[in-house]
Amino acid sequence: MSDRTARALVLALAILLVAGLVLPKWAISLAIISLGKGLVVLGMMLLMRTGLVSFGQGLYYAVGAYAVGILNQVYKFSDAMLMVAAGALAAALIALVLGALLAGYRAIFFAMLTLAFSMILYGLLVKSSALGSTDGFNVDARTLAGIPMGGGASYTLYAFASIAAFLGAWGLHRYQGSLLGRIAPAIRDNELRVEYLGASVRAVVLLNYVIAAVLSGAGGAIVALAVGHIDPEMAYWTTSGEFVFVAILAGTGSVAAPFLGSALFEAIRTVAYQYSPYTWQMVLGAAMLAVIMFLPSGLWSLFERRRARP
């Protein structure tokens, strides 16, 4: 790994793995959820670089989680790695179908259609008693690639989530440096010119949509394993809105930004809920306003400014 971002990601992974050995259980749990949701926001970041905002990423987040739930409860699978891989695969397959339709839409039409699809899934889950209806159901992984692990937020799951987040961020970093990755901001700027240069905008949009779905599916599966419970709220529009919130909070300047934003979001929410249980949303709203007013390019712009300073 020769470039600076890759080295920083390796360092971040090492710090995470070491820190996990001394962190209390509640912090481990919070960190796994942040890493899982960070993966979803990482996918959102790719879509935003392509000029698209999805208000329905909760769909794939829920698909990943429910793939874990179904494999665990119905088919009695208990290996975390296998179930997360299945969650990502299920999300990819659904994204291939829905993405073929969505790739022709832009701006508010794309955003609203993604929202509509996620709400359709929410409706199906709520009405499906076989999948636990509004209550959802519990999930429990006992092994990770054959290695025994404790249920819920164990260090093993934390380490796995850290490695998954590292691989997601590093993979996306590599992708962004490739030709297809470079076409994404070109599409955002001027898709007519991209077509005139000979590339298929539709194909690139579909590919990025599927990648975002895979990351969301994996993220949903990891969060499901950490929380030990899944329910239809994961597909609800407020969950998707939360991912948009974190993406704006974090900014799109680096593949590390979604994880930083996600961790900060979870920390603010936890503290706000503890001290102000009835008005915690107001605290989040104020945080968002502050970011939009003082850091319009997101939290990551703080690091970019520092780097740009002579």
Partner 1 sequence: MAILEARNLVKRFGAVAAADGISFAIEPDSVVGLIGANGAGKTTFINMATGYLKPDSGAIFYQGAEITPLAPRAITHRGICRSFQVPQLFLSLTVRENLLVSAGIAVRHGAGGRIEAQVADSLERFALAAYADKLAGVLPEGIRKLLDIAMALAARPKVLLLDEPTSGVSAEEKFGVMDTVMQAVRPQGVTVLFVEHDMEIVERYGERVLAFYEGRIIADGAPRQVLENPEVREFVVGEHAAH
Tell me whether residue 200 or residue 281 sits nearer to partner 1 (CB atom).
Answer: 200
Q: How far is the CB of 197 from partner 1 (least distance, A)?
A: 5
Q: Look up residue 29 and give its DSSP letter.
A: H
Tell me whether residue 79 or residue 191 sits nearer to partner 1 (CB atom).
Answer: 191
CB–CB of 168/42 below 8 Å?
A: yes
Q: Binding string, 120-159, against partner 1, x = CB under 8 A? A: ----------------------------------------
Tell me whether residue 135 or residue 195 sits nearer to partner 1 (CB atom).
Answer: 195
Q: How far is the CB of 225 from partner 1 (least distance, A)?
A: 38
Q: How far apart are CA 227 and CA 26, in angstroms?
A: 11
Binders in 200-229 for partner 1, by CB under 8 A: 200
Residue 73 burial by CB count (10 A; 0-12/13-18/19+): exposed, middle or buried? middle
Tokens 């070491």, located at residue = 18
Tell me whether residue 25 or residue 193 sits nearer to partner 1 (CB atom).
Answer: 193
Binders in 174-203 for partner 1, by CB under 8 A: 179, 182-183, 185-186, 188-190, 192-200
Query: Minimal CA–CA distance to 183: which of 173, 171, 195?
Result: 195
Tell me whether residue 174 or residue 229 sits nearer to partner 1 (CB atom).
Answer: 174
Q: Look up residue 137 and give its DSSP letter.
A: E
Q: How far is the CB of 199 from partner 1 (least distance, A)?
A: 5
Q: How far is the CB of 194 from partner 1 (least distance, A)?
A: 8
Tell me whether residue 194 or residue 260 sits nearer to partner 1 (CB atom).
Answer: 194
Kindly list the distances between the CA atom of residue 213 and the CA atoms of 45, 47, 99, 278, in Å, as whole numbers in the listed order: 12, 10, 10, 33
Residue 253 within binding range of partner 1, rule CB under 8 A: no
Question: Token pair for residue 86?
Answer: 């299945």
Q: How far is the CB of 193 from partner 1 (least distance, A)?
A: 4
Q: How far apart are CA 169 and CA 60, in angstroms?
A: 18
Q: How far is the CB of 208 from partner 1 (least distance, A)?
A: 15
* Three-state secondary structure readout of 51-88: CCCCCCCHHHHHHHHHHHHHHHHHCCCCEHHHHHHHHH
Residues that bind partner 1 (CB under 8 A): 179, 182-183, 185-186, 188-190, 192-200
